[in-house]
Structure 1
Amino acid sequence: MMKYGIKLVYLLIVLINFNCTKNDISKPLQNYSKLNDSLYKYAQDVYLWNDKLPHYSVFLSQNTIKGNTEEDILRNEIFAISKYAINNSTDKSYEFFGKLPLEPKYSRIVAHQVSSQSERNFGISLVAYNDSLFVQYVIPGSPADNEALKRGDKILKINTQAVSFNLSFEAYLEQSLKDDRLELTVVRNGVEADILLFKEYYNASPINHLSLLNEQTGYISLLQFSNISAAQLQDKINFLGGISSLIIDLRYNNGGFVNLVEELANLLIPYSFNKQIMRKERYNTVMQSGLAFSLLSQPLVKDDGTPIYINGHAASLFDIDYSIDANTYFFNKKTGIPDLKKIVFIVSDKTASASELLISILKPYIKTKIIGVSSSGESNVRTFGKPVGFFKLMLGRFDLYLSMFQNFNKDDEGGYYDGIPADVTVIDNVRYDFGSIADESVKMALHFIEGVKIDSLKQNSRSSIGLKEMKSVAPGPELLIRSF
């Protein structure tokens, strides 16, 4: 049967289960529905490690799947499925997640939701330094951005209540951030100001800072790979001109759309490497062989939900070619930085998925260093560790995301299940704004790039981000960060 090289547009992002209620698996088993049978059939066809799964009857005899709701039961079935494939380098399952050991790290099922590119919020993230509360970052275009709040602003009061660090205040803060109205008293450079925010829908930009640090070194901070067109991204990168070195700050970037990662990679790759291998997607042998018949029930649709037709019939995900050759992608550079020599990535344990893919893609071609930033005092930062991807499968009223393929770069590297290790780790110093050469991570990046004393460098004020100019908070004692 003919298969077609249709490229899917999908997300590489960390899916988090926001339901914090623990499943009570001691309660009686609800009726095991047809959805559970279908889920296992999908896993046998498309799960990346399907060769490790037993026959369905054996699976049922080995696992007692319980839960309070249908979603709980399905979620627990996915967890049971995820335990079969063992990573020999860790002796744990590939989907083991130390922070949530009773949930798979990647695969998820969620109640079906209509996706939206915009979200109504304040556009601000706050973080604690033991006895002080600071702005961690502000989303460009948000209400917080419109009021000129910025990273490093110290929060003195929330809705007239003085900041403190106890359970009652944390509960108050959590509730305040859910409200539609938020009043902040902030201090910057010794000057206090009262700022009133209202939740709004807005067009967010993922690039929260872009500047030239000197004639040959640029800096860009991306919060996510989304909410920006290819043309807009080209304009931002072309602003940097013919620099030879670039600092890419991905410390809070948990992923996004792969097509934007590819677009950025094309803008950054030197012309001398054009048309060479960018990345490969590797599916299991059932999918590569075109035998994943369960995908016949998954329609292939356009962005607006209308069906795609191939040779007169409504296409399904079964019609796509999942072979390695059909899923090997090459650089296609048309514009951007012509001859980039060095890249320094700033990462944290929140740097995940599409962000990790960008690092992996460029590492074989451009001299690369990775600087980790820690908010908890850890000395050896690693990124989140998500080299796998998936696309959505519809399962009743649920959206199913099973780990389906692994990404590899030109050198067939892609096994960073435990994260990509940083070459050096420094404190995530929230007192300094993005791109400031007073920030320890930027200092270290410049050290790698130029090997000169930081004090001898003068930061170029040229910037394409039209934020209001305000001075940064004066430095205080070195403290660790605790996130809410």
Structure 2
Amino acid sequence: VDRWSFAVKKAEWDDVSSGVAGDFGLEVFFRAEGDLRVKLVEKESSAGRAGVRRGWRITKLNGSTNMTTTNSNAIVEAVYNSTSTVFEFQKPDGTTVTSTLAAGTYQQNPIFLDTVYTAGANKVGYLVFNSFLGDTTQIYNSFQRIFNRFSTENVKDVIVDLRYNGGGYVSVQEKLANYLVKSSATGGLMMKEVFNSKYQNFNETINFKKLGSLNPARIFFIVSDNTASASELLINNLKPYVEVKLVGPDATYGKPVGYFPIGVGDWYIFPVSFRSTNKDGQGNYFDGIPLDSKSADGLDKDWGNVQESSLANALSYITSGNFVPLSTTSTLGKSVEVAGKNKVFSDRSFKGAVIAPRTIKH
């Protein structure tokens, strides 16, 4: 079996794919050795309802102050695998708050933030999008609202934050791509899905069908090595049609292939089934899509804070035509231990590009 194919119980996939979760609703990363931060929070979760925010520092878990990489197994148990944990957080103003969080079922919302900034003479739309899975009706309604707002406010440049987005449904990628692309792209090739020689009848060509009236001059993507599959597909598909810049801590994950579910009893198997290429025939980014400018993941800042390293880097280029020099970004260098443990945390998240089921002839 290749490194990406997998199998999952149908009931579990039905929950994951529709955005139904049953945990605390927060994820963590080490900002540096001994500095454990809240990476993201789901609004409707236990953590979200308690007011926990990205960027808060975790100083205690069930009374333990050991927030080091050598204690990562205990951290995983307390944060991800427990039904109840006592967290002590340090907020950005230095005050501390203790919250007992209980795991519970909630609906994820992959749109963490949308807002508009003024950067120099430009209006800039900012969208933090965390997954191409979830309640697609909710997601599509949000897309319509967001891009109507961007158009009404005369947004010229768009920043799409995909730094933790591991992918999901290719159909959701198509929808977002059609909002982001210029009107002149309508009818142009978005992507080709190419299967192996035994299943050439599944090959598909997908063209752009512009949605909304926004025609961005440039699109900036904030990415990391957790930006995978359907996220990379979006970037690759837009590149032939609009100026695209990538900023963030790392090049993207590197997964230009996808799959569809095959039902076997009460399981789905997801064998890697197809690869994707854009209008220019490009799609061989197995080593990831490279950055235009490297900047830290500002784990000490909440979403939308214009001083957060990667967002600030994109806004700097929009305002001045120059990215922020690396020496002025914070906490860029991380130890091998920190990077390795963060990978353990992030590997828990789904990474893939999923299309509708096909009928396999035996």
Scaled by the length of structure 1, the TM-score of the pair is: 0.62
Aligned to 1:334: 211
Q: Look up the SS of the partner of 1:172 in the other structure.
A: helix
- One-letter amino acid of the structure 2 residue matched with residue 238 of structure 1: N
Cα distance in 2 between the residues matched to 1:166 and 1:388: 33
Q: Which runs of 5+ in 1 are unaligned?
A: 1-77, 79-103, 289-320, 374-380, 456-474
- One-letter amino acid of the structure 1 residue matched with residue 166 of structure 2: N
Shift of 1:270: 1.5
Question: Could you list the per-position Cα deviations for residues 31-85 of structure 1 after superposition, in whole angstroms to 9, with x for gaps in the alignment?
Answer: xxxxxxxxxxxxxxxxxxxxxxxxxxxxxxxxxxxxxxxxxxxxxxx2xxxxxxx
Alignment of 1:11-410 (within 5 A): 78=1, 104-110=2-8, 113-114=11-12, 115-116=14-15, 117=18, 118-128=20-30, 129-165=32-68, 167=70, 169-177=71-79, 178-188=81-91, 189-214=93-118, 216-227=123-134, 228-229=136-137, 230-241=140-151, 242-288=154-200, 321-323=201-203, 327-337=204-214, 339-373=215-249, 381-395=250-264, 398-410=267-279
**Contact map agreement 1:132 1:163 (CA 8 A) in 2:** no
- One-letter amino acid of the structure 1 residue matched with residue 124 of structure 2: T
RMSD: 2.4
Shift of 1:397: 5.8
**Contact map agreement 1:223 1:253 (CA 8 A) in 2:** yes
Cα distance in 2 between the residues matched to 1:417 and 1:454: 26
Cα distance in 2 between the residues matched to 1:478 and 1:346: 15
Alignment of 1:452-471 (within 5 A): none
Cα distance in 1 between the residues matched to 2:314 and 2:223: 12
Change (3 A) 1:264 1:164: closer
Shift of 1:402: 2.1
- One-letter amino acid of the structure 1 residue matched with residue 177 of structure 2: A
Greater CA drift, 419-428 or 172-181: 172-181
Shift of 1:171: 3.6
Cα distance in 2 between the residues matched to 1:156 and 1:389: 39
**Contact map agreement 2:225 2:253 (CA 8 A) in 1:** yes
Give aligned-pair identity as a percent: 30
Aligned to 1:449: 318
- One-letter amino acid of the structure 2 residue matched with residue 192 of structure 1: T
Question: Could you list the per-position Cα deviations for residues 94-119 of structure 1 after superposition, in whole angstroms to 9, with x for gaps in the alignment?
Answer: xxxxxxxxxx2322344554521311
Q: Look up the SS of the partner of 1:240 in the other structure.
A: helix
Shift of 1:268: 1.2
**Contact map agreement 2:67 2:75 (CA 8 A) in 1:** no
- One-letter amino acid of the structure 1 residue matched with residue 101 of structure 2: L
Change (3 A) 1:479 1:286: closer
1:429 lines up with 2:298 in the alignment: yes
Higher strand share: 2
**Contact map agreement 1:387 1:415 (CA 8 A) in 2:** yes
Cα distance in 2 between the residues matched to 1:240 and 1:152: 27
Shift of 1:412: 1.1
Aligned to 2:356: none
Cα distance in 2 between the residues matched to 1:479 and 1:368: 26
Question: Could you list the per-position Cα deviations for residues 378-404 of structure 1 after superposition, in whole angstroms to 9, with x for gaps in the alignment?
Answer: xxx321111111112234665332222
Question: Could you list the per-position Cα deviations for residues 109-149 of structure 1 after superposition, in whole angstroms to 9, with x for gaps in the alignment?
Answer: 44554521311011101122212221111123222111221
Change (3 A) 1:157 1:262: same
Scaled by the length of structure 2, the TM-score of the pair is: 0.81
Change (3 A) 1:396 1:141: closer
